[in-house]
Structure formats: C-alpha cells, structure tokens
Structure 1
Amino acid sequence: MSDEELETYSLVELAVDRLRRDILSGRSDPGERLVEEQLTRRLGISRAPLREAMRLLAQQGLVEHIPRRGARVATLSDEDVAELYEVRDVLERHAVAAMPAQPDLTGLRAALAVMRKATEADDRLELANAHRRFHTEVVRLGGNRQLADLYGSVLVRIQLYMAVNMRREAETARAEDGVVRHERLFAAVERGDSAGILKALGEHGARAYLA
C-alpha cells in the first residue's frame, strides 16, 4: 500500500470514528441529513474518504442512502426495534445454553471495570459502548465467534435507537443503577446460573438497556 493510500485510509478511519461517535452518542439524531459539504469542512477531509466512510457506516446500519436525497442517519421503525430485540433474545439464549461450566471471565471483568469508570466520569458514549461490550462478552462465552459478531452488530443498531433517549434517561435514572444490573448479571455468569443469566438479561429491555 502506497503512502497516498495509507493517508486516504487513515482519513476514512478518522471520518468513521467521528461520525460513529456523533451517531451513537445521540449528538446526531435518527433521520438527520448528512450533508457532504458540511462534513468535509468539519472533518477537514475531501469527498472521497468521506464517501467511503459513509459506505462503511451504511454497512454497519448507522447511515442510510436515500435516492436523490443523499445520506442521513439511519432510522428504525417500532417494528424494526421489536424485531432487533427478538433477534437479540434468540442469540442470547443460544449462547447461554452453550456456555461452559467454568468460562473465562477476563473480558467480562474488563468491560465491567470500564463501565464503572465511565459511570464515574459521566461519559455517556463510553458507558453505552461498555454496556454493549459487556453483553457481547457474555454472548462470546457461548463459544460461537460468528454468533457473537452478529450479536454485536445487532446491539450497535439498538444503541442507535436508544442514543436519543440517553439524555433523558440521565436526568431521571441514577447512573449507578446500570452498573448494579450488570454486576448482577456478572454474578449469575460467575456461578454458572443459566436461569439467573437469562433473568438478568431479560431486565435489559428496550427502556433499560442503556440506563
């Protein structure tokens, strides 16, 4: 890869990271137009790496292209959200059923530690990412890497839906409540309590997932 190609690739990564953070933090609302001229100025890049970044974000389900109208932050209907939660539930149940008696909890502990730090720092985006990582690590314990990757992509789309509500939930819910729920889930995994794991996962519904 040439120096020019490396530079272009780095600009694409920069654009993906910045736009992804805007979307998943709720800074950019679902349905909001993504205007090329504005984004190239704000990010300090040309149209080519921006368009590649938008293509990659579309693959992740975070951006959608509307014919003759350009790109916008992806939107989800109530039906979309309900179906995503159904898929999430199916994948979780499959993973829990396949968990070994003594799983390696290193990744789960690390995600919980990040969650605690993000809660203390009131970093909502990092907290949401830590929640997603924690749940993905739970599913990864089932031993199916492809299933865990699919599960992670589902959670990203759910986070897109929930991002707008993060600001409101921060005003009404105690930030530490989310940590307590995940500590309860961690304890169930640690003691190998399948029923307890599923019960704790069930408490992470559409309203509670990012609380």
Structure 2
Amino acid sequence: MENVAAPSDTGALETPSLVDLAVARLRADILSGGTEPGERLVEEQLTRRFGISRAPLREALRLLAQQGLVDHFPRRGARVATLTDADLQQLYGVRDLLERYAVEQAFPIDDPRRLVALHAELDAMRAADEVGDRFAMAEAHRRFHVALVALASNRQLAWVHESVLVKTQLYMAINLRREADTGHGTHNVLRHQRLYDAVAGRDPETVLSELAAHGARQYIS
C-alpha cells in the first residue's frame, strides 16, 4: 500500500514523500513492538519527532488505518490498533484456510528455483535472530508466509492473505519482543525451517501437517 513517487523530468524517481517516510517510520515502530496496542499517537509529538507538518502526518495515519494498524476515535485522536482474542482467533483461522488452500494449489512443485524466495526469508529470519533485530524478524516472518502463498500463483489470494498477515503481525510484535527478551527467537526460526524442509520435500501432506502444528496459536493466550 506504499505510494510510488512520480518520476522527475530526468526520469529518476523523486525522494520518497514525507507521507511515505512517516508511514514507514510509524509502521516500523508499531510492528517492531516499539509501541503498545492502544497507545495514543500524539500529533504534536510525532510532528516534532519527524520534522513534518500535521497534514502529511494525518495522511500517514489515515493510510496506516487502512492497513489496520491504527484506530481513529472522534475527538480522541489516533491510537495503535488493538485486537481482541476473538479477532485473533478469526484472523488465524482465515490465515490457516488461505495457506492450506495455497499449498493445495501450488503442488506439485517440480522446479526448486520456485523456493528461492522462501529460503531467502528463512535466511533473513536467522540473521535477524542472531543480532536480536525484532522488526527484521517480524518482517522476514511475514515475507516467508507471503512467499509460501505466492507458490500458488494466485494474485487475489496473495492480496487477501497479506492483508491478514499485517494485522496478525501487530499482535505478534509483542510476542516476538518477548521471544527476543527470553532468548526464544531461535525457536521461531526452527519452526520455519521445519516448514521449509517440508515444502522442499515436495510432500503436500507433510506441509499441511507442519502448517497445522506451525504454532500460530501459540500467540494467543
């Protein structure tokens, strides 16, 4: 949902707009666990922090609201979005259905080159875990599941799936922070290694079994 800057007269892309930069900064804060669900987003503080006026900041908040990361309340401003336990159960249920359907549509996978993106995100997760970068871990986790569903070559499925992932990542940011604080980030990498191995093994039944035991519901208390 990022805006693409218009080309200049020379054909080169312009510097990303203030709105784009504000979206990127706020999104990173929210999805890395740097802000808590329900935390108020104070315009005066954010304009000073980013060195921008209220207009681009409000547009950035509007775009983040479209992504499900920010809630707006009349006369009370904006807050980091919150999800109820029921919301999470429903989101993970939808994610499970979409990913199982994607696997059923994707197999057989006869060309190992189709797994390059999936393996790259597994490597990115491992690298993020080694340096304790929570946001990089969360982003690589999201991209891993995006790459998994992309194997189905279904653009509409991919679009719906990613919109669900962004919302679940909001909640997972809290848990990834806990994993980093307690040294459990490596467990997250190992779970995805097992899932990758199942995909590379070209056995859809094993992949579906791994997805069922993948641990999505460990994020729900």
Within the alignment, does 1:72 sit opposite 2:82 as a pair?
no
| Equivalent residue letter for 1:163 | A
Q: TM-score, normalised by structure 1?
A: 0.91
Structure 1 distance, partners of 2:85, 2:135, is 23
SS at match of 1:75: coil
| Equivalent residue letter for 1:40 | T
SS at match of 2:27: helix
| Equivalent residue letter for 1:182 | H
Give unpaired runs (5+ residues) of structure 1: none
Aligned to 1:172: 182
Within the alignment, does 1:44 sit opposite 2:51 as a pair?
yes
Alignment partner of 1:85 out of 87, 92, 98: 92
Aligned to 1:152: 162
Q: TM-score, normalised by structure 2?
A: 0.87
Aligned to 1:112: 122
Range moving further from structure 2, 94-103 or 57-66: 94-103
SS at match of 1:76: coil
Q: What is the Cα deviation at residue 170 of structure 1?
A: 2.4
Structure 2 distance, partners of 1:172, 1:199, is 28
| Equivalent residue letter for 2:48 | R
Aligned to 2:151: 141
Alignment partner of 2:208 out of 189, 198, 209: 198
Q: How many residues align?
A: 206
Q: What is the Cα deviation at residue 148 of structure 1?
A: 1.3
Aligned to 1:131: 141
Aligned to 2:3: none
Range moving further from structure 2, 170-179 or 77-86: 170-179
Give unpaired runs (5+ residues) of structure 2: 1-5, 9-13
Tell me if structure 1 keeps the 8 A contact 2:121–2:144: yes
| Equivalent residue letter for 2:76 | R
Deviations 1:100-126 (A, max 9, x none): 322511111111111111111111110
- Cα RMSD of the aligned pairs, angstroms, is 1.9
